[in-house]
Amino acid sequence: MTGAVLVVGAGVVGLSIALEAQSRGLSVRVLDRTGPAAGASAGNAGAFAFADILPLASPRIMRQAPKWLLDPLGPLSIPLAYAPRIVPWMWRFWRASRPSQVAASTAAQTALMNHAQGTLDGFLLRAGASNMLRREGQLQVYEGLAQFEASLDGWRAREAGGVEFRHLAGDDLAQMQPGLSPRFTHATFTPGWATIDDPKVYVQTLADKFVALGGEIIIADVEALTATGLRTSTGDFAGRVVIAAGAYSHHLTRTAGVRIPLETERGYNTTLPHGGFDLRQHITFPAHGFVVSKLAGKLRVGGAVELGGLNAPPNYKRADAMLRKAADFLPGLDTTGGTQWMGFRPSLPDSLPAIGALPGRPDVICAFGHGHLGLTQSTATAAIVADLLTGKAPGIDMTPFAPARFMRQS
């Protein structure tokens, strides 16, 4: 089999790339071990979080991390058995938290977010999914003046990046979100935040559109990169390769001798099957590391970070802890009848995705490591990869996202 672009991964990033490449006249096959929307693309919060330009790797997180780690069910957890394995990644994360690197990462993230905003509407229109998007904004809420004031440096950085927002307090906050606990005295509203009705349905819509336009989705275990393409459980495929396999992507790069420090942020949520609370917009509780988002007829409570790899069983006590907090923070929220979920977020230590040629393999393009922002940055990543596949210069500087940046650090 020859000639096709081979996209590994049928999540939101992989299928967005497949559709965009297809729209440029390329023949595309998508390969995935389980099929569309089976991983993090199915259970995320459904947010196009364009205001989230600040990298996780930062002095702010380094200051908060020790306190969070003391709570096994808190916003950040590292299971004891996994701790020795993650030390090299954490060292790189610490290095990326230096002020100069944070500034560079923020500038790169801002450029990618702007590109994502600019490509979103056109992509949704071509995919037949425009009706799924809601532009209701997001509230970040704070318990008291001190917590709010501690957030202001971050908002100044967002302002410098062109993010629109406004601060709220008192009656203005109560009017924006009725039913919020009075412990939350201040908030910041970002109107540019958008939400998809249901991320799983959205990704399946992309898959259906791709197939309807002549694309092929192949269910197979992708075992290795070869000199001409891929070796899989159903045979060999020849063509240029795009690796968009989320948290599993680094296993494939290693078959070409390239080690990329991808780690797995295990995230948890509970989807409530009813609209029993009048949630006006997505709400983020930054001090507690979780969000409440409104999907089509449902509410989803989730977040947190568990750096525990791909193999350990889920610890749903983490989902329970967030749900209990949500009930306290949103009095009147009915938390019965929920469905729990755990998924893998693919995260690189400098909080930027790897997009570009795999070192030593110009025929292989990486498109993974988006962390919490895979849905948000999916259309920008798709446009960039399609540009690279067709010999066009991408619309932003790709140097900060180059997979080879990790080779230079070794």
**234 SS3 class:** coil
Quick one: which of 314, 312, 313, 316 has its CA closest to 301? 316
Q: Pairing state of beta strands 47-48 and 194-196? A: antiparallel
Enclosing H/E stretch for 188: strand 186-190
CB distance 347 to 371 below 8 Å: yes
Give CA–CA dist 20/25, Å, rounded.
9
What's the whole-number mean pLDDT along residues 289-301? 93
Q: How far apart are CA 46 and CA 293, in angstroms?
A: 7
- Dist CA 205 CA 200 (whole Å): 9
* Number of C-beta neighbours around residue 364 at 10 A: 23
Neighbours of 88 (CB within 10 A): 12
Under 8 Å between Cβ of 262 and 368: yes
Check: CB of residue 288 under 8 Å from CB of residue 142: no
Query: Which bin fits 363, alpha (ψ -120 to 50), beta or left (φ > 0)?
Result: alpha
- Tokens coding 354: 């790897």
**Residue 32 · residue 244 · CB < 8 Å:** no
Q: What's the gap between Cα 104 and its chain centre?
A: 20
Residue 321 identity (one-letter amino acid): A
The model's pLDDT over 199-210, given as tens digits with 9 standing for 90+, comes to: 999 999 999 999
The 10 Å Cβ neighbour count of residue 313 is 7
User: What does the pLDDT read at residue 269?
Assistant: 94
Phi/psi of residue 44, nearest 5 degrees: -75, 180
* DSSP 8-state symbol, 154: H
Q: What is the pLDDT of residue 409?
A: 47
Global pTM? 0.96
Location of structure tokens 């791709």: 210
- Collapsing DSSP to helix, strand or coil, 350 comes out as coil
pLDDT exceeds cutoff 70 at 3: no
What are the chain's domains?
A: 5-409 (3.50.50.60)
> pLDDT tens for residues 11-64?
999 999 999 999 999 999 999 999 998 888 888 999 999 999 999 888 888 888
Residue 272 in tokens: 């409530």
Q: What percent of the chain has pLDDT over 70?
A: 98
Please name the amino acid found at residue 353.
P
Measured CA to CA, the distance from residue 41 to residue 47 in angstroms comes to 11
Coil, strand or helix at 337: coil
pLDDT for the residue 292? 96
Predicted local confidence at residue 275, as pLDDT: 63
71 pLDDT above the threshold of 90:
no
Condensed to tens digits (0 to 9), the pLDDT of residues 319-358 reads 999 999 999 999 989 999 999 999 999 999 999 999 999 9
Residue in 296, 400, 299, 294 with CA at minimum distance from that of residue 355: 400
Residues with Cβ within 8 Å of residue 145, at least 6 apart in sequence: 185, 186
